Amino acid sequence: MAEEKSYKYVIIGGGVAAGYAAREFTKQGLNPGELAIISKEPVSPFERPELTKVYIDLSVNPTLASVYCCAGTGEEKQYPHWYKKKGIDLIVSTEIVKADLASKTLVSDDGTIYKYQTLLIATVNRFFTPEMSAFYEAYLINKGIKIIKGTAVTGFNTNSDGVVTEVILEGGRTLEANIVVASVGGKPVTSLFKGQLEEEKGGIKGIKIIKGTAVTGFNTNSDGVVTEVILEGGRTLEANIVVASVGGKPATSLFKGQLEEEKGGIKVCVIKKIRNRALVSYHY
């Protein structure tokens, strides 16, 4: 017999939206046992934007606990015990595999059934990475692009003229390079290069941003190493390193055929402004 649990409110997803929603629920007089947060991630909700900032800053030694919600607004950090103290069931390492909005029922990967009165959908994007497409990964490798997983860039080496010669990875491993593109949220990350590369208008001087086109392929030499990037229309750009950063898409598969979608995401009602705060209300 599958275990069944009932809540007044359920939040699917354990990202920033879930963390701040939990804080607002408590401010509005939430009673113990009324709210559950169900997250596939193994940790409490944390600040994604803050995480990228502290990890790119080599002068600090960050931990995940330092960026728990609501660190981004300077409020009290919501450690796992915060949720327990507030009577919120924080259910981590649990994936919802079925959602029936008509019967207000959710089913998790371990077979547990969750009943709710109001559901808050806070599922994060599914990022498109080589791991998500074996064909895409094989294509890149065939074009001489090496995919390095499970690590991060921690710095770089330059020559006497201040030109980048190597990228430094976690553990001290280096990669020869003469072009480096670092991007978080669509903006060049300059803090990594402070005092070492010349900046210009919030970016790095010498990096050209090309808009209104897309990459359609690559050219390689006889050894299979990338030499050029091909753009729409046939234009080519010389390159020996290619960084594929193609974003993500809303995780809506649970609700296919049950909710109206728009532009790849779930269509919601009009935002209602209450005093100086914005409130989006969508109940099922």
Q: Is residue 196 predicted with pLDDT exceeding 60? A: no
235 to 96, 140, 166, 214, 232: CA distances (angstroms) = 45, 19, 28, 10, 7
The amino acid that residue 276 corresponds to is N
Q: What is the pLDDT of residue 250?
A: 75
Mapping DSSP onto H, E and C, the string for 212-249 reads CCCEEEEEECCCCCEEEEEEHHHCEEECCCCCCCCCEE
Q: Looking at the structure, do residues 112 and 252 belong to the same domain, yes or no?
A: yes
Does residue 194 come out as left (phi exceeding 0), alpha (psi in the -120 to 50 range) or beta?
Answer: beta
Residue 148 has pLDDT above 80, yes or no: no
Instruction: Find the domain containing 212 and state its range.
Output: 130-238
Residue 180 reports pLDDT greater than 60: no
Residues ≥6 apart with Cβ < 8 Å to 55: 62, 152
The C-alpha atoms of residue 270 and residue 11 are separated, in whole angstroms, by: 20
Highest average pLDDT, of 67-81, 102-116, 156-170, 265-279, comes from: 102-116
Give tens-digit pLDDT for 16-64.
Answer: 889 999 999 999 999 999 999 999 988 899 887 666 666 656 566 667 7
pLDDT exceeds cutoff 70 at 131: no
Q: How confident is the model at residue 203 (pLDDT cuts 50, 70, 90)?
A: low
Q: Residue 12 — pLDDT band, cuts 50, 70, 90?
A: very high
Same domain, 216 and 259: no
Domain for residue 54, yes or no? yes
Whether residue 9 sits in one domain with residue 96 = yes
d(CA 64, CA 51): 8
Residue corresponding to tokens 């007044």: 8
CATH number for the domain spanning 225: value is 3.50.50
pLDDT of 104: 94
65 and 92, same structural domain? yes
Total domains, the chain:
2
Q: Is residue 284 part of a domain?
A: no
pLDDT of residue 243: 67
Residues 214 and 104 in one domain: no
Return the pLDDT at 274. 42
Is the same domain home to 58 and 151? no
Cα separations in angstroms, 213 against 5, 143, 216: 50, 20, 9
102 & 71 share domain = yes
Residue 247 has pLDDT above 90, yes or no: no
Q: What is the CATH number of the domain that holds 20?
A: 3.50.50.60
Does the residue 243 lie in any domain?
no
pLDDT for position 51 = 66
Same domain (yes/no): 102, 171: no
Find the mean pLDDT for residues 198-209: 57
Say whether both 220 and 173 belong to one domain.
Answer: yes
Residues 235 and 229: their CA atoms lie apart, in Å, by 8
pLDDT of res. 119: 92
Task: Let me know how long the chain is.
Answer: 284
pLDDT for the residue 144: 61
